[in-house]
Amino acid sequence: MYKKIFSGVQPSGNLHLGNYLGAIKNFVTLQNESETDCVFCVVDLHAITVKHDPAKLKNNIRETTATFIACGIDPKKSIIFNQSSVSAHSEGAWILSCVSRMGWLNRMTQFKEKAGKDKEKASIGLYSYPILMAADILLYDATHVPVGNDQKQHLELCRDIAQKFNNDFKAPDFLKVPEPLIQKQFSRIMSLKDGLKKMSKSDPSDLSRINLTDDKDEIINKIKKAKTDPLKMPEIEDTLEKRPEVENLLGIYSSLLNQDLDKSKKEFKGKNFSEFKDSLSDLVIEKIIPISKEIKRLLNDKKHLDNILLEGSLKAETISSKKIAKIKELMGF
């Protein structure tokens, strides 16, 4: 079955192991499937919905692009571009905001989480960014969108917007209603310091995450200091509901090896954590250091990265300009 994939990553700097295992690793798998076309976007318009440093944004865009490529996304196989370079995204977001309903956005739980206690001071962009996300997807007739559980609600909103537009303007199936691709295991990598919090670049402690640009010594130190518990490694039949940090570290190990959790539990059952952490460090170094070196190499050639983004934006513009023109025609422009 043919699939058209769309997904994006914000250029907020310091992409980490959670971004790789929870998203980018899966992007590479999808790219290499037969009968699949992929569009991967550096969603820089989403990055400005919160306070940001303009001086760092351009470099963060390049760093995210370099990370895509270093992890295995091939610009000859997939379209890679930055969102702000294709005007249809902003135009589409405005048009779709006129179709969307306040009640739909009021139900979005992630806005409440990101805005915090003082919602009155949050930007309108942060409130309405799920509509921009919908425009991103619908402009490319995406059939499938890889999402984590925290983004599933936004994809449901995208589906609602598409269906309402098609009904309002009597254009059945014009905007494709996308299906979610939800990674069943290890889609949510947690903090190394707290197994109940998602690994995040916004965490003030650098020890909470493994950055994709970390060197060998930094990786060893962070895994050595990762929170565990006083018990030994679990047996195969042991549940891990009350051992979130252990489940997280085993999940990282399993994901890097593409094996299920039980196989990893069997490998280390009854052993001391120090032995497991040594094996985990070796594995992370084996998988991540080549990515780290390639990111740094690519960042030394900014012109090459800018050319990749330019070529990708021209391809994206070709697709999206036709779609936005038809959207405007249906609306009477």
* Residue 20 to residue 314: CA distance in whole angstroms: 26
**Catalytic site residue from 176, 201, 232, 315:** 201
Q: Is there a catalytic annotation at residue 198? A: yes
**Catalytic site residue from 77, 114, 193, 296:** 114
Pairing between β-strand 144-147 and β-strand 179-182 as defined by DSSP bridges: parallel
41, β-bridge pairs: 8, 81
**Catalytic site residue from 176, 198, 224, 269:** 198
Q: Counting beta carbons within 10 angstroms of the beta carbon of residue 33, is it exposed (0 to 12), middle (13 to 18) or buried (19 or more)?
A: exposed
Phi, psi for residue 246 in degrees, rounded to 5? -65, -45
Q: Structure tokens of 249? A: 């570290």
* Residue 146 to residue 29: CA distance in whole angstroms: 11
Counting every residue written for the chain, the total comes to 333
DSSP string, 165-177: HHHHTT-TTSS--
Q: Give kind and range of the element (H or E) at residue 92.
A: helix 88-97
* Residue 176 to residue 327: CA distance in whole angstroms: 12
Residue 243 DSSP code: -
Q: Is there a catalytic annotation at residue 266? A: no
Q: Is there a catalytic annotation at residue 296? A: no
Type of residue at 118: D
Residues serving a catalytic function are 114, 198, 201
